Amino acid sequence: MNSDRDIQLPNLEDVDKVIHESARLIIMSYLFLVESADFLFIMQQSGLTFGNLSSHMKKLEEAGYIEVQKEFVDRRPRTTLKLTSSGRKAFKVYRDQMRSLFDQTDA
Amino acid sequence: MAKVNLETLKKDIYQTYFSDGVWDIILGLVFLSIGLGVVINQNFWYLFPIILTLPLALKRSLSEPRIGTLKFKQSERMWLMAFYFLSWILVLGFIIFLGLMNPAEDGIVRWLTINLFLVIGFILAIILSLVGWFIKFPRLYVYAVLIFLGFALAGRITSIGTILTVSGILITISGIFVMKNFIQSHPKIMFSQESGAAEQ
């Protein structure tokens, strides 16, 4: 039903489904705040299990949102995660969409 | 949908990164070496390169296998460096300013000269508090108060050397306790070379 004001809610179909999933949103949020972080750091901060983080990491990498670099440091494997510029841009767009959605529903 | 507050996540990142006590120990050792140097009239400046390389060694051997690694954004690293250089510029600038002025000439300059340690303590406390606020590191407020009180009392109840030594010991002990808790609460996590799976 229309009220006195027309509320233009963003079309939820436009919301990025890759980021919208809660585990991936947490991963993207942490990576948005730093330049890069390794797998262990994200695993500890997000509370995700090894397998869970691996699969979400793969999805984000396939979407081109994160860059994954694997190397050996002191004979130990290290996987470094970094947001790509398109990942950073996509996160900002998602954040703005969510913000505008909640701002309008609060009104 | 997960509720994400970027400010809270940022705070979590800083608290995790600084929860190992490494920087507390370094700060304490710097004060301790300056203080001991004054007390026994011996120059300990040659220890500084060793103290300043300790964070790298401790982070790599103790923290990284437990919490992983991260690289802060360039802008944040710049802010931290700016705080560091600002502290030196303020303290040295203040001392040079006093050296250039004639203490007998002006009431304020005279007061500043007499209360030199109080002002240096105040500058250091403000800078430590600003860094504490910026990196969400509440222990720095306690250190700021400790250092301010120490400098304020220097020359009144005991020498600056003793004050710096005692402050250094207290901060180092606090850092060791923080590090002990960190080691107990964060077991080492190794990733298997074959599967990559995590092992504790």
Give the model confidence (pLDDT) of B113-142 as tens digits: 777 888 888 888 888 888 888 777 888 899
Is the pLDDT score of B52 beyond 60?
yes
Residues 30-69 of A with CB under 8 A from B: 30, 32-45, 50, 54
Average pLDDT rounded to a whole number, residues B65-86: 83
* Predicted pLDDT of residue A88: 94
* Predicted pLDDT of residue A64: 95
Please report residues of A whose CB lies closer than 8 A to that of B69. Answer: 37-38, 40-41, 78, 80
Q: How far apart are CA B31 and CA B162, in angstroms?
A: 10
Q: Give the residue carrying structure tokens 């060694």.
A: B57
A5 near B CB under 8 A: no
Most A-contacting residue of B10, B69, B80 (CB-CB within 10 A), to test interface: B69
Three-state secondary-structure class, residue B164: helix
| pLDDT > 90 fraction of chain B, expressed in percent and rounded | 12
Give A34 or B103, the one with higher predicted confidence. A34
Give B41 or A21, the one with higher predicted confidence. A21
Give A28 or B17, the one with higher predicted confidence. A28
A78 near B CB under 8 A: yes
* pLDDT tens per residue across span B155-165: 777 788 888 88
Task: Choose the weakest-confidence range: B103-107, B112-116, B130-134, B182-186.
Answer: B103-107
ipTM field: 0.77
Is the pLDDT score of B18 beyond 70?
yes
User: DSSP letters along B124-161, please?
Assistant: HHHHHHHHHHHTT-THHHHHHHHHHHHHHHBTTTB-HH
Q: How far apart are CA B35 and CA B38, in angstroms?
A: 5
Q: Give the residue carrying structure tokens 């290290």.
A: A78
CB contact under 8 A, A29 and B9: yes
Is the whole model's pTM more than 0.80, yes or no?
Answer: no
Residue type, B169: I
Asked whether the beta carbons of B172 and B34 are under 8 A apart, the reply is no
User: DSSP letters along chain A, please?
Assistant: ---SSPP-PPPGGGS-HHHHSHHHHHHHHHHHHSSEEEHHHHHHHH---HHHHHHHHHHHHHTTSEEEEEEEETTEEEEEEEE-HHHHHHHHHHHHHHHHHHHHHH-
* Predicted pLDDT of residue A90: 94
Three-state secondary-structure class, residue B23: helix
B187: tokens are: 């077991």
Most B-contacting residue of A25, A29, A55, A58 (CB-CB within 10 A), to test interface: A29
* Predicted pLDDT of residue A6: 55
* Predicted pLDDT of residue B48: 74
Listed ranges A92-106, B2-16, B112-126, B173-187; the one with the highest mean pLDDT: B173-187
Per-residue pLDDT of chain A (107 residues; tens, 9 = 90+): 444 455 565 566 778 889 989 999 999 999 999 999 999 999 999 999 999 999 999 999 999 999 999 988 877 888 999 999 999 999 999 998 888 877 766 55
Q: Provide the pLDDT confidence category of residue B196 given band limits of 50, 70 and 90.
A: low
